[in-house]
Amino acid sequence: MTQSPSSRWTSLLTSLRAKPWLWQGAIVIFLLLLPLPLGNYYRTVLWRTGLYVMLGLSLNLIVGYAGLFQLGHAAFFAIGAYTAAILNLRLGMPLLYTFPLAIGMAALLAYLITRPILHLRGDYLAIVTIAFGEVVRLSLVNNLLGITGGANGLSGIARPVLFGLTLRQPIHHYYLLLGFLVLTVIAMQRLEQSRLGRAWMYIREDEVAAEAMGLDTARLKLLAFVLGSGWAGLAGALYAGQLTVISPDMAKFMESVVMFCIVVLGGAGSIPGVVVGALGMVTLPELFRPLKDWRDAWMGLAMVLMMIARPEGLWPSRRIQMELREEEEA
Amino acid sequence: MQFLQQIINGMTIGSFYALVALGYTMVYGVLKMINFAHGDLFMWGAFLAFTGLHVAGSLTGQAQPWLLGPVFIAVTLVVAGIGVLVERVAYRPLRSAGRLAPIISALGVAFILESLARNIYGPRWLSMPQGFVPSGVLMTYQDVRLSALQLAVLLIAFVLMAGLYVFVQRTRTGVAMRAVALDPLTARLMGIDVDRIIATVFLIGPGLGGAAGMTVGLYYGSFDFTLGWTFGLKAFIAAILGGIGNIPGAMVGGMLLGLIETLASGYLSPQWKDVIAYVILILILMFRPTGLLGERIAEKV
Amino acid sequence: MSKRLVMSILIVFSMLGGLVGCGGSKGTIKIGLQGPMTGDYAYEGQGFRNAVELLVEQTNAAGGINGKKVELIVEDDAGDPTQSALVAQRLVDAGVVAVIGAYNSTATEPASEIYNEAGILHITPSSTAVRLTQKGFKRFFRVCFLDDRQGLFAAKFMKEVLNAKNVGILHDNSTYAQGLAEETRTYAEQMGLNVAFYDAINPNDKDFSPILTRIGAANLDAVYFTGYHSQAGLLLKQSAELGLKVQWIGGNAANNPVMVEIAGVQNAKGMFVTTEPLPQDLNYPEAKKFIADYKAKYGEEPASVWTIMAAEAFNVIRYAMEQTKSTDPAVLADYLHNQFKNVNGLTGPILGFDEKGDRLGTIHVAYVIDENGNFVLYDKQPSP
């Protein structure tokens, strides 16, 4: 008895799904080889895509797993970058050493800011995060405490030095980012399946019920924010080392919106969803430059259409898809 | 004396915020959604007024102040029409889609409106044609000046607010709106055409926004497409400050925000005035989210 | 599941499809132009493009440089630093030997890092931030003058021509304006002026009545605003409406006729502007010819001095290549540093470049706005 093509395909997928490390390994090898035949420009585009994937994953913790509206995520991206830059420029700290401090600073500020506002309901929370993002950006522009360099930003940031090799070329930065990205994805997958991840999902689905079940929702939401923001800080430090010039524009609202769309349009709560989102929101507009002037309009149109046709995103996690469909039928 | 002048300055800009806030607060009150596109609708009011006045001026050969009336009505109607269209296309399908989807859709609409303005009118600044607005000072008192235009703006804002308040409180449509705001399901059961009421809300709210846009555009004389974003956010802060959904609250919130901003600009530094506005927002939401005059929407239990 | 798989494969393929680059042409000299073709400064970016395309056309018609045709590759950085880094990378990959650009200092900075790494000759027509030439980049030059030159000029103007004692300085927190404001303050205080007022507005502000009221009460002889022309226009208008008797001076970001349109002629009248000479005041035969050619091709005269500067940058590159008979950036840079002296340019004689790459000398002048709203050279200028 011969198998029909579709059932052969299905059984192939099933066996692949059973051995995730097989195709995940294949993807990693693909990513390792990808930049080799490409010129510096495309390598930089790849790097930028990867950076936004990392930012998307960090926001995914907050928006996707815990279901909180964060429209000021870029502020923490900037905080990480500025921390790394200031430590490097003023204290001469080698860039890679600044990474833990950049993460810590972003996490700390996230803790201080979000603790008092977590009880706010969805759309109010969104507004407060927007406001906070702007406060951070404007403080950077106004040269807070005299160390943020004003609208000029900071320049002359040192390149990261790894085992004696100074990472100058785009391909070096790509591999450095790839390393961190692989770690991030592994961590996210673990979180998704852990007790913590499930606790977040309960809160996202029905906060009142979760409270009733004994979950300390306030603390868990705070944890999501702190972790996600710290991760964004890491991305910021990597950015500082690559571009060597940073400016307050990193924290502008549009950046936060792009990150938010990466998560929500790509598919909230799912890692492949974030990748698709990053490809769509960052890589595609970069490669289709003739669309430049109308890019914002296309992005807006995509946002509206996606919400109407497929609010769970292009590649959502199964749970969220179910949640949203249930809500609609209700 | 400087202080008195700053008060006048503050109330002028406050009345602008109040005007824009009225539209925000109306829509939120009835639909519980933040219409992020409101600021851009306001901006389109200014842009359309620019086109309208130029056309009107060239048709009649010179700028006639009485042309303001027809152009004002035309602009308000067009922006109101855009508002209804936006609601029908981008918001209505999402009414049952949770809290997140309408926000994203609204942002999307905001981007589309902004991009259209930038591509149609260009990235440069536009100046309203001269001669339409009364210039000149109404009264002076020891270096403190109040211009005719400022007084006019204050009056317009007040009249519009009063009119809206009366409309919502006294007319049948207004009562229906409040019913929908309170409980859409029951309102529908009572025979209210909820869809039509919502469309009306989006007629009046954006219409007010468009009127505000034309007023602000004429007052400052020149603007660019970034007009929508800042004003929109400030107006939203004003609406929250006064109590979202609360019409007198929008007025109070607007005035208060205008005054605080102005005094901060004048006595501290203009650099920090936006930061102060945002900090106020954060504080209000943290400690008194219902705003100064209290919310006017039902809370689901 | 398979639907999603198909969708994402499609996306990856379309991305790869975009990666298929286009081939280049051999035997040409590739020169890059980077500027804001879109965004807030689109007008200036397009001016760059018009100017350089005109000259490339003329050069190729006359046989090219050293017998080879010039191929111009234009990229848009929208005035944004991240975009700028990306397009710089593209230009490097495309194999250019020299780049003209960018317009604003914020965009030029990251690009200069990339060009420096790639060893390409880089000339900016208009980025005046002092910081750019402090990094020791051997192949980076500018044909414009530094902010500190303009700051010095402004301070001298206020002291010598206006006889001011108490002055105010206002900027808008942007890279360029803040730098110029600080330079001006330093020189003003050195000269004994009292900088009684020093503050900043935000780039998107439209209502300045609070700060203007404060300025009005501060009894200043002159106020120097270093921000952009659109806000300068609003400042002038609102200042007049508040009945202030302030003598306004603008920096070279204000020298744009739109400012007069925004302010209203009667409110702009009498304002001074410190700037490089406007194109119509460049009394050099080369400039006059260029303006005429520009008008013939594009139907209007270049209104911005930066357009001329972009042309100047191209001419410098062309001249260096012709003199050295080489397109090697190292050779060209060496020539520009050491042997390029006293060449007649569109903006006057180019005395040369110092070891940091800055253009020697200064050409700032003061303009005043007359009762018709035109920018005319003011008859009193400070000492050189």
Per-residue pLDDT, averaged over C117-131, amounts to: 89
Q: Which residues on chain A are in Cβ contact (under 8 Å) with B289?
A: 120, 124
Q: Do B278 and A131 touch (CB under 8 A)?
A: yes
Percent of chain B residues past pLDDT 70, beyond the cut: 94
Q: Do C202 and B271 touch (CB under 8 A)?
A: yes
CB of B225 closer than 8 Å to CB of B43: yes
Query: CB contact, 8 Å: C321 with chain B?
Result: no
Helices assigned H by DSSP within C20-163: 42-61, 81-94, 105-118, 147-156
Q: Do B103 and A123 touch (CB under 8 A)?
A: yes
What CA–CA distance (Å, rounded) separates A201 from A210? 9
pLDDT digits (tens, 9 = 90+) for B190-215: 888 888 888 999 999 899 899 889 98
Nearest CA in chain C to B222: C262
pLDDT at C17 over 50: no
Beta strands at C28-35 and C98-100: parallel, antiparallel or unpaired: parallel
What CA–CA distance (Å, rounded) separates A238 from A255? 17
Sheet architecture: strand order including C272-275: C194-200, C166-171, C222-225, C248-250, C272-275, C365-369, C375-377
C258 min Cα distance to partner chain B (Å): 8
CB of C92 closer than 8 Å to CB of C118: yes
**CA distances, A160 to each of A94, A168, A172, B208 (Å):** 7, 8, 10, 54
Q: Mean pLDDT, chain A, as a whole number? A: 84
Per-residue pLDDT, averaged over C368-384, amounts to: 83
What CA–CA distance (Å, rounded) separates C106 from C110? 8
Instruction: Identify the pLDDT of residue B45.
Output: 93
pLDDT at A136 over 70: yes
DSSP SS3 for C222? strand
What CA–CA distance (Å, rounded) separates A203 from B285? 22
pLDDT at C4 over 70: no
Vertex C196: Cα angle to C195 and C199 (nearest 5):
85
CB of C90 closer than 8 Å to CB of C111: no
pLDDT at A1 over 60: no
Query: CB contact, 8 Å: C92 with chain A?
Result: yes
Q: Which residues pair with B139 in a beta bridge?
A: B146
Q: Do B104 and A261 touch (CB under 8 A)?
A: yes
When CB atoms are compared, the residue of C11, C93, C173 closest to A280 is C11
What is the CA C300 to chain-centroid distance, rounded? Answer: 20
Query: A17: buried, middle or exposed (CB in 10 Å: 19+, 13-18, 0-12)?
Result: exposed
Per-residue pLDDT, averaged over A321-326, amounts to: 68
pLDDT digits (tens, 9 = 90+) for A238-267: 999 888 888 888 898 889 988 998 898 887
Instruction: Identify the pLDDT of residue C223.
Output: 94
Q: Do C234 and B140 touch (CB under 8 A)?
A: no
Query: CB contact, 8 Å: A284 with chain C?
Result: yes
Domain residue ranges in chain B? 18-238
pLDDT at A131 over 70: yes
The neighbours of chain B, by the rule of 3 or more Cβ pairs under 8 Å, are: A, C
Q: Which residues on chain A are in Cβ contact (under 8 Å) with B238?
A: none
Q: CB count, 10 Å around CB of A92?
A: 8
Query: CB contact, 8 Å: A283 with chain C?
Result: yes
Instruction: Identify the pLDDT of residue A324.
Output: 67
Q: Which residues pair with A265 in a beta bridge?
A: none
Q: Do B282 and A126 touch (CB under 8 A)?
A: no
Q: Which residues on chain B are in Cβ contact (under 8 Å) with A128?
A: 281-282, 285-286
C212 min Cα distance to partner chain A (Å): 20
Q: Do C38 and A293 touch (CB under 8 A)?
A: yes
pLDDT digits (tens, 9 = 90+) for C45-55: 988 999 999 99
pLDDT digits (tens, 9 = 90+) for B89-133: 999 888 877 777 888 899 899 999 988 988 888 777 888 887 777
Task: Name which of A13, A40, A134, A279 to mutate to probe chain C: the one with the most chain C Cβ atoms within 10 A of its Cβ.
Answer: A40
Q: Do C264 and B130 touch (CB under 8 A)?
A: yes
Domains of chain C: 2-145+282-350 (3.40.50.2300), 148-275+364-377 (3.40.50.2300)
Query: C369: buried, middle or exposed (CB in 10 Å: 19+, 13-18, 0-12)?
Result: buried
Q: Do B282 and A128 touch (CB under 8 A)?
A: yes
Percent of chain A residues past pLDDT 90, beyond the cut: 24
On the question of a cis peptide bond just before residue C102, with omega within 30 degrees of 0, the verdict is yes
Query: CB contact, 8 Å: A264 with chain B?
Result: yes
Q: Do C210 and B269 touch (CB under 8 A)?
A: no
CB of B125 closer than 8 Å to CB of C262: yes
Place of tokens 């607007």: B254
In which band, very low, low, confident or very high, does the pLDDT at A208 lie, cut at 50, 70 and 90?
Answer: confident
At a CB cut-off of 8 Å and minimum separation 6, what does C283 contact? none
Query: CB contact, 8 Å: C218 with chain B?
Result: no
Domain residue ranges in chain A? 40-251
pLDDT digits (tens, 9 = 90+) for C75-91: 998 888 888 988 998 89
Per-residue pLDDT, averaged over C216-233, amounts to: 90
Closest CA to C311 of C35, C120, C90, C29: C35
Q: Which residues on chain C are in Cβ contact (under 8 Å) with A41?
A: 86, 89-90, 92-93
Q: CB count, 10 Å around CB of A194?
A: 11
pLDDT at C59 over 60: yes
Q: Mean pLDDT, chain C, as a whole number? A: 85
Percent of chain B residues past pLDDT 90, beyond the cut: 20
Instruction: Identify the pLDDT of residue A290.
Output: 60
Instruction: Identify the pLDDT of residue C1.
Output: 45
What CA–CA distance (Å, rounded) separates C297 from C275? 27
Question: What 3 state SS string does C260-303 have?
Answer: HHHHCHHHHCCCEEEECCCHHHCCCHHHHHHHHHHHHHHCCCCC
pLDDT at B301 over 70: no
CB of C83 closer than 8 Å to CB of C110: no
pLDDT digits (tens, 9 = 90+) for B222-275: 888 888 888 888 888 898 888 887 888 888 999 999 999 998 888 888 888 888
Nearest CA in chain C to A266: C8
Q: CB count, 10 Å around CB of A309?
A: 8
pLDDT at A74 over 90: yes
Q: How many CB pairs under 8 A join B and C?
A: 92
In which band, very low, low, confident or very high, does the pLDDT at A78 lie, cut at 50, 70 and 90?
Answer: very high
Instruction: Identify the pLDDT of residue C26.
Output: 60
Closest CA to B123 of C39, C227, C232: C39
Query: CB contact, 8 Å: C175 with chain A?
Result: yes
What CA–CA distance (Å, rounded) separates C107 from C112? 9
Instruction: Identify the pLDDT of residue C20.
Output: 38
What CA–CA distance (Å, rounded) separates C365 from B179? 68
Query: CB contact, 8 Å: C373 with chain B?
Result: no
pLDDT digits (tens, 9 = 90+) for C145-202: 888 888 999 999 999 888 889 999 999 887 778 888 989 999 999 999 999 999 998 8
- Helix, strand, coil proportions of chain B in percent (round to 5)? 75, 5, 20
Query: CB contact, 8 Å: A287 with chain C?
Result: yes
When CB atoms are compared, the residue of C78, C86, C106 closest to A247 is C106
What is the CA C30 to chain-centroid distance, rounded? Answer: 23
pLDDT digits (tens, 9 = 90+) for A152-181: 778 778 888 888 788 878 888 888 899 999
DSSP SS3 for C49? helix
Residues of B with a Cβ under 8 Å from any C Cβ are 1-2, 5-6, 9-10, 12-13, 123-125, 127, 130, 135, 137, 140, 143, 145, 147, 220-224, 226-227, 229-230, 261-267, 269-271, 273-274
Torsion-angle region of A194 (φ positive above 0: left; ψ -120 to 50: alpha; else: beta) = beta
Q: Which two tokens stand for residue A98?
A: 């600044």
Instruction: Identify the pLDDT of residue A4.
Output: 67
Beta strands in chain C (DSSP E): 28-35, 69-76, 98-100, 121-124, 140-142, 166-171, 194-200, 222-225, 248-250, 272-275, 343-345, 348-350, 365-369, 375-377
What CA–CA distance (Å, rounded) separates A103 from A97? 11
Q: Which residues on chain B are in Cβ contact (under 8 Å) with C206?
A: 220, 223, 227, 230
In which band, very low, low, confident or very high, does the pLDDT at C273 lie, cut at 50, 70 and 90?
Answer: very high
Query: CB contact, 8 Å: A281 with chain B?
Result: no
Instruction: Identify the pLDDT of residue C22.
Output: 38
Residues 94-113 of C with CB under 8 A from A: 105-106, 109-110, 113
User: Could you please report the per-residue DSSP string of A105-151?
Assistant: HHHHHHHHHHGGGTTS-HHHHHHHHHHHHHHHHHHHHTTGGGTS-GG
Query: CB contact, 8 Å: C199 with chain B?
Result: yes
When CB atoms are compared, the residue of B123, B125, B265 closest to C211 is B265
Percent of chain C residues past pLDDT 90, beyond the cut: 34
Percent of chain C residues past pLDDT 70, beyond the cut: 93
- For C240, phi and psi rounded to 5 degrees? -70, -40
pLDDT at C305 over 90: no
What CA–CA distance (Å, rounded) separates C126 from C255? 14
**Which of B123-142 are b and which e, b meaning 16 or more Cβ less than 10 Å from the residue's Cβ?**
bebbbbbeebbeeeeeeeee
Instruction: Identify the pLDDT of residue B137.
Output: 63
Query: CB contact, 8 Å: A139 with chain C?
Result: no
What CA–CA distance (Å, rounded) separates B289 from B234? 16
Answer with the residue of higher pLDDT: C216 or A328: C216
Q: Which two tokens stand for residue B209?
A: 């926004």
Least confident of A265-274, B17-26, C225-234: A265-274
Which run of H or of E encompasses B166?
A: helix B148-170
Query: A6: buried, middle or exposed (CB in 10 Å: 19+, 13-18, 0-12)?
Result: exposed
Q: How many CA atoms lie within 13 A of C308 on its CB side?
A: 27
pTM for this model (two decimals): 0.83
Instruction: Identify the pLDDT of residue B129.
Output: 80
Q: Which two tokens stand for residue C188?
A: 């003003």
Q: Which two tokens stand for residue A323?
A: 């949640």
Instruction: Identify the pLDDT of residue B290.
Output: 80
Closest CA to B16 of B298, B200, B234: B234
Closest CA to A110 of A148, A74, A85: A74
pLDDT at B181 over 70: yes
Per-residue pLDDT, averaged over B32-43, amounts to: 89
**For the ranges A30-34, A309-313, B85-89, B160-164, the one whose mean pLDDT is highest:** B85-89
**Which of B152-184 are b and which e, b meaning 16 or more Cβ less than 10 Å from the residue's Cβ?**
bbbebbeebbeebbeebeeeebbebbbbbbeeb
